[in-house]
Structure formats: structure tokens, C-alpha cells
Amino acid sequence: MCGIAGYTGKKLAAQVIIAALKKLEHRGYDSCGVCFVNEKKLQVIKTIGKIHTLEQKIHSLNNKSTTAIGHTRWATHGKVSIENTHPHTDCTNRIAVVHNGIIENFREVKRLLTNHKFCSETDTEVIPHLIESYIEQGKNNKDAFFMAIQQLKGSFAIAAVFSDEDKIYFSQKHSSLIIYRSNNETYLVSDPLGLPDQATTIIQVNDGEWGIISSDEICLFDSNGKEKKPEVFTLNREISNLPDHFFLKEILQQPQVILSSIRNTIFFLDIENRIFNGVEKILLTGCGTSYHAALIGKYYFEKIARIDSHVEYASELAHHPELFQRNTMVIALSQSGETRDTVAAVKKMANKKILAITNVEGSLLSRLTPYKILMGAGPEISVAATKSFIAQLICLYILSFRIAAEKNLLSFSEIDRIIVNIVRTSHLLEKFLQRRESLKNLAESLVDFNNFFILGRGVSYPVALEAALKFKEVAYVHAEGLCAAEMKHGPLALISENTPVFFIAPEDNTFDKNLNNIEEIKSRGGRVIAITSEGINSIEKIAKDIVFVPFAEDLSPIFSIVPFQLLSYFLAVRKNLPVDRPRNLAKTVTVE
């Protein structure tokens, strides 16, 4: 849940590292720090809180170093404190390390380092001391680093500097590190968004690889210490014309994301046209928003493709690989492709038929699985997911129709008509978003409430879960997503005039039952807010507030979730909350 930035070259490292860390803020952090290699000495600067505070500290020092490593930390081992903030150093302050992930055997390693003084509660601090122990045995920097990383167990991305070299050492296992080399300078980051704007090619560090970068050289080694040639990839990214908040920008991008997801899914199916041969069951897994998309995917697969489907949290599936049965395909969903629980679940089912649906090419999940669909949603910077959710729905929707066609439940010409209808959905969503300001007044009327219920039936139930998550993440209010039928089995006791209740009530076979549930809430004094299809007039008599959205049959989740994305945004802005970077949360959850 952290960001790593390293630089060695001819520029002032302070400026480069701060710029990179700011680009990595979306990953979430509670503290940050930098270590400079400066005239054969290490200079470490740390701070609690935001990067601009760190920037001010560095600026006051007038540092001239051209080699440095930096880090944004989200606490996993040890409280938020200066002592626990990265970088961490050895006893003699000659080695400094930053690290993402978890060192699972850090306690065992720490017990072996009996003569070393530890100053923090973190698992990371054992790394520089372990390297130091091998240097004390007469090893050079390179051998000491290699021998140290061989002792470590867990998932990690590591960057280290030594006081006597203008170089950065790195290692990666089940995590993410990326290298970019330009004229007389080299960058090392944990996310491509941390690279300078001019970066067009990258080197992706693979599992088990380690190496050394300097201003004019990249040395890469495999897990056995054998040197290998770095493989260069083209970097594709698009971040421009940003509004005040990434969160709103990404909501507004969703019509285009629908089109990109259509294109990428069809392209995948054209290449892997036999992927569903012999598949009798679908097992979907993910975390957070991706889990909610998986629940909707189950609805699509069972209704449209008539194939048995099961959804499980990735965190649970990792401990129950027996859920995978013969002739089962696993579909793993993750925006970043680095979500630790999802990656762990996939690893438990190695050599199985697994399809990853992710947004990041070269991510760990995409490299672990034999099949992958890249959603093509573009970088999602805001911590709270928006466009990746809709992209996942489109991918799953099209896959369900492909299976249906292979089972002769649909003709391929019928699928063509369905694709045209999805494209139409994109245009309808764009028109709806043009009216987004109308939701501001509704948000204004809700700003003093701190508890919400969001109810839905059928395919709208997972939408209710996702809507509640958006309210929690972005607007800092308690919201509970429920199956509407379950309201009377307990939660009804909480209804009062201080409890707004949203009903997701599209014009489908659950609509009449939703009307009955609305009457129940209204009779108990609850305030009802309905999200329903355009042209439905009967609901106006019983709902205080109504948000009309385009009718889209099975794609109703797309139109149902967008009002909640916008409402959570308007509420957060009204409350002056950090929309893009909510407290305690991170974009990429890299710990289990």
C-alpha cells in the first residue's frame, strides 16, 4: 500500500523524488521519507503526513545530491511515527532501505541479528541490518545485498542505497517495480504513474529478479544471481485535462471506458476463441469493488449463459482452493492487478484455467494467469474505484453472451445486436452525466445525515453494496447496502426520519416488490429516495425524491451506480473532504 521512488542521474534528486512521490499519492500513505547519497554519506529526512511537509524540510537543506530513494508509507507493522517511517538504516548509517509489502519472517531474521540495534517496530528495518551483517563478514555491497534478499520470505519490492556508491539496489518478489532509463539518468518506481511525463519505455522487474541501477547502467539478475538482459516494454498512458478531482474526472470518463472495454473484450475473444471449451462452472473472485462486480457477473453468467457460477472473496478463496473443481474457470478481477488477496488466491490455483480481468498491463496478476483481459479504462488515480467497476461489468457481460452463443442459446448475429446496444448505453450515459449538476441539490439536502440504507433486489443488490461502499469511502458516512427483502428481518427497527433510505428500483421484474418495500419504509417515517427508470410515474406518489436514469435492462447497474458516485462526490466536496485520497485507504492494497 506504499509508493517507492528512486533516482540516480545528473539532476537534483530532491526535485525528482518529490515529483515522483506526489504522483504516487493515490496509492495511499500516512508518512513519507527520502534518503540522499551525499558526499559518501546518507542523509535521511522523514515526516508524518503529507508530502508537501517533506518537501519543505528538504528545501531548507539545499541538498545537492543526485542519487536518492523515497517512500510513502501506509502503516502495516508498527504505528504511524517518525521511527517507523521509511527509509530505514543500519547501525552505522551506511545502508538505507525502502520497502513495499511484508517480510513474513522478519521476527526470525531479527532474532539472528543479536548485535544490531533496532529503532522501529517495522518489518522493513531488518533488511538494512541483514545486509550490514554480511558486509561485516567481508562481503561487498553487491554480494551482501544478494545474500540478504535470499533470506527474506514474503512479498516485497525493495530499493536500497549505500553511502559509498551513487547506485540503487533493488529486488522484487510478488510485488511491482519498474525501471525507466533516459540520457544519463535512471528511475525506479513502484507504479508507472511515478515516472516523468517523457517516459515512453519501461523495464518491468519480474518476480525473483534483482539488480543495480546507476546513471548510465542497468544490471539485472535472476533469483540465482545470473545476469540477464532487461526486456523493454512500451509505456501507454493518458492523463490530461484534469478537473479539480480525479474522482470526478474518472466518473466522466465512463462513457468512453464502456467503448474501450467492448473493444478489448472482443479482441481477447477473437484471439482466445476456444477459452470456454469444456468449462462447466465459473468461479469469480475479487476484493471490494471488484467483488461487487463479480456478484453482478454471477447474475450475467447464470441468467444469460445458464452456467453455474459462484462468487467468493479473494481473501477467503486463498484459504479454500478446494472450491476450484474440475471443468471450472476462475475469473479474477482487480483494477490494479496487484491486489494482494487476489494474487494470493490465484497462486493457490496455479496451473488452473484462470482468466484475469485487470486494468494494468504487466501487473502481477496479469503475469500470473494464462489468460487476461485488459479493461482499457486508463489510469484510475482516485482511491475510490469508479470507471474500473463499469469496465469490469462490460467485460463480464460480453463474456456471458459469448458462452451463451457457444451453448447455442444465442446466435452470433444476436450478439452483434447486443454489442450495438452496449454502445448505445455509452451515449445514454454521456447524456445523463451532462445533467450531473441536478444531483447537487439532493446532496445538499443529505449533508447533515450520517446513516443511510441503500436497498436493491436481483442484480441491483450488488449495486447497493457498491453504492454503500462509495458513501463510506468518499463521503465518510455510514451506509449499509441490503437486499430489499431483508429490510423487514431486523434493520427496519433502525428506520426513522433521520435515516434516508435509497431504493434502486429499475423497471424490471423486481419493480412491484420494490414499491411494496417503499411503502413499508414510508409508513415508518423513513425518507425514501428512489433511483428508477425514466418514464416510471407510479413511484412519484410514494417517494420523496426520485433520480430518473435511462432504462437499460441487464445493464441497469451502470446507470444505477453513477448517481451514487456523483452523490458521494458532491457530499465530500460539500464537507471539504479529501475526495481523491480518503483517510486510511489506499488504491492498491498490497498486504493480505
d(CA 462, CA 299): 10
Locus of grid cell 433486489: 457
Q: Is 2 a catalytic residue?
A: yes
Give the CA-trace dihedral at 240, 392, 385, 356, to 10 degrees: -90
Of the listed 2, 32, 35, 395, which one is catalytic?
2
Strands 178-182 and 201-204: antiparallel
Q: Is 139 a catalytic residue?
A: no
Tell whether the torsion through CA atoms of 188, 193, 198 and 204 is positive or negative: positive
Of the listed 167, 298, 353, 587, which one is catalytic?
587
For the purposes of burial, counting CB atoms within 10 Å of the CB of 354, is it exposed (0-12), middle (13-18) or buried (19 or more)? buried
Tally DSSP H helices, then E strands, for the chain.
17, 25
Strands 500-505 and 232-234: unpaired
Which of 185, 182, 177 shows the shortest CA–CA distance to 199? Answer: 182
For the purposes of burial, counting CB atoms within 10 Å of the CB of 492, is it exposed (0-12), middle (13-18) or buried (19 or more)? middle
On the question of a cis peptide bond just before residue 557, with omega within 30 degrees of 0, the verdict is: no
d(CA 401, CA 159): 46
Amino acid at 425: T
d(CA 501, CA 451): 9
3-state secondary structure of 73: strand
For the purposes of burial, counting CB atoms within 10 Å of the CB of 561, is it exposed (0-12), middle (13-18) or buried (19 or more)? buried
Which of 388, 296, 267 shows the shortest CA–CA distance to 336? Answer: 388
User: What residues are labeled active site?
Assistant: 2, 587
